[in-house]
Structure 1
Amino acid sequence: MKAVAVVGNPKPGSRTRDAAERLAAALELDCEVIEVTALGPGLLAWGDPGVTAAVEQVRSADLVIAASPTYKGTYTGLLKLFLDQFPTATGLAGQVALPLMLGAGPAHALAPELTLKPVLVELGATCPAQALYQLDSTYTTDDSLPRWTGRWSRIVLDAAKARTAR
Structure 2
Amino acid sequence: MTVTVVVGNPKPASRTLAAGTLVARGLRPDAEPTVLELATYGPALLSWGDPAVAEAKRTVAESELVVFASPTFKATYTGLLKLFLEQFDGGTGLAGVLAVPVMLGAGPAHALAPDLLLKPVLAELGATAALPGLYLADRTFAEDGVIGAYADRWRPVVQALGRSGADSTVNASKAVEHA
TM-score (norm 1): 0.95
Matches within 5 A, 1:115-134: 115-134=117-136
Matches within 5 A, 1:70-109: 70-109=72-111
SS of 1:57's equivalent in the other structure is helix
Return the offset for 1:159: 0.8
The one-letter amino acid of 2:97's match is Q
The answer to whether the 8 Å contact 1:128/1:159 transfers is no
* Aligned sequence identity (%): 51
Cα deviation, 1:134-161, whole Å, max 9, x if unaligned, reads 0001101102112211221111221122
- In structure 1, the gaps of 5 or more residues are none
The one-letter amino acid of 1:89's match is G
Please, which moves more after superposition, 144-153 or 128-137? 144-153
Please, which moves more after superposition, 128-137 or 147-156? 147-156
SS of 1:154's equivalent in the other structure is helix
Match of 2:177 in 1: none
Please, which moves more after superposition, 23-32 or 109-118? 23-32
Cα deviation, 1:48-83, whole Å, max 9, x if unaligned, reads 111111100111111111000001111000000000
Whole-Å separation in 2 of the counterparts to 1:68 and 1:162: 29
Whole-Å separation in 1 of the counterparts to 2:33 and 2:138: 21
Partner residue of 1:68 out of 67, 70, 83: 70
Match of 1:22 in 2: 22
Return the offset for 1:128: 1.4
SS of 2:9's equivalent in the other structure is coil
Return the offset for 1:26: 1.3
Match of 1:3 in 2: 3
The one-letter amino acid of 2:58's match is E
Whole-Å separation in 2 of the counterparts to 1:134 and 1:11: 18
Match of 1:113 in 2: 115
SS of 1:16's equivalent in the other structure is helix
The one-letter amino acid of 1:149's match is A
Output the aligned Cα RMSD: 1.4
Name which one, 1 or 2, has greater alpha-carbon Rg.
2
- In structure 2, the gaps of 5 or more residues are 169-179
TM-score (norm 2): 0.88
Whole-Å separation in 1 of the counterparts to 2:25 and 2:126: 25
Runs of 4+ in 1 over 6 A off after TM superposition: none
The one-letter amino acid of 2:91's match is A
Provide the aligned length of Structure 1 versus Structure 2.
165
SS of 1:148's equivalent in the other structure is helix
